[in-house]
């Protein structure tokens, strides 16, 4: 038995619509990469992951704030920038 193929019509996009869609997807990708890199940097700086207990912990997280960033693919809105709070260490 041969598989049936569905007759799927692809909606034609104009060059402008395609360019706008591509720019939107690139902005989403840049947003994801920036958010991931910022989280990894904070994790490396703090010395422990979220909610993780560690003797090597140097700091602790203190929430985040949002920023917009203008890039070559357009403005990236609401990037979460993590914060840290310096923990006072009385033994030092």
pLDDT value, residue 10: 58
H or E segment to which residue 25 belongs: helix 15-46
Res 36: pLDDT: 96
* Average pLDDT of the chain, as a whole number: 85
Q: Using alpha carbons only, how large is the chain's radius of gyration in Å?
A: 22
Are residues 63 and 83 in contact, defined by beta-carbon separation less than 8 angstroms?
yes
Per-residue pLDDT tens digits for 46-88: 988 888 888 888 888 888 999 999 999 999 999 999 999 876 5
Q: What is the per-residue pLDDT for 91?
A: 47
What's the rounded mean pLDDT across residues 12-27? 92
Q: Which run of H or E residues covers position 64? A: strand 60-71
Task: Give the DSSP H/E element, type plus range, for residue 79.
Answer: strand 74-85
């Amino acid at each position: 038995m041969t598989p049936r193929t569905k007759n799927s019509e692809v909606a034609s996009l104009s060059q402008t619509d395609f360019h706008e869609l591509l720019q939107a997807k690139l902005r989403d990708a840049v947003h994801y990469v920036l958010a991931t890199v910022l989280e990894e940097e904070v994790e490396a700086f703090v010395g422990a992951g979220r909610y993780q207990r560690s003797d090597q912990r140097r700091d602790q997280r203190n929430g985040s704030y949002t920023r917009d960033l203008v890039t070559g693919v357009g403005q990236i809105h609401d990037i979460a920038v993590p914060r840290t709070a310096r923990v006072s260490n009385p033994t030092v």
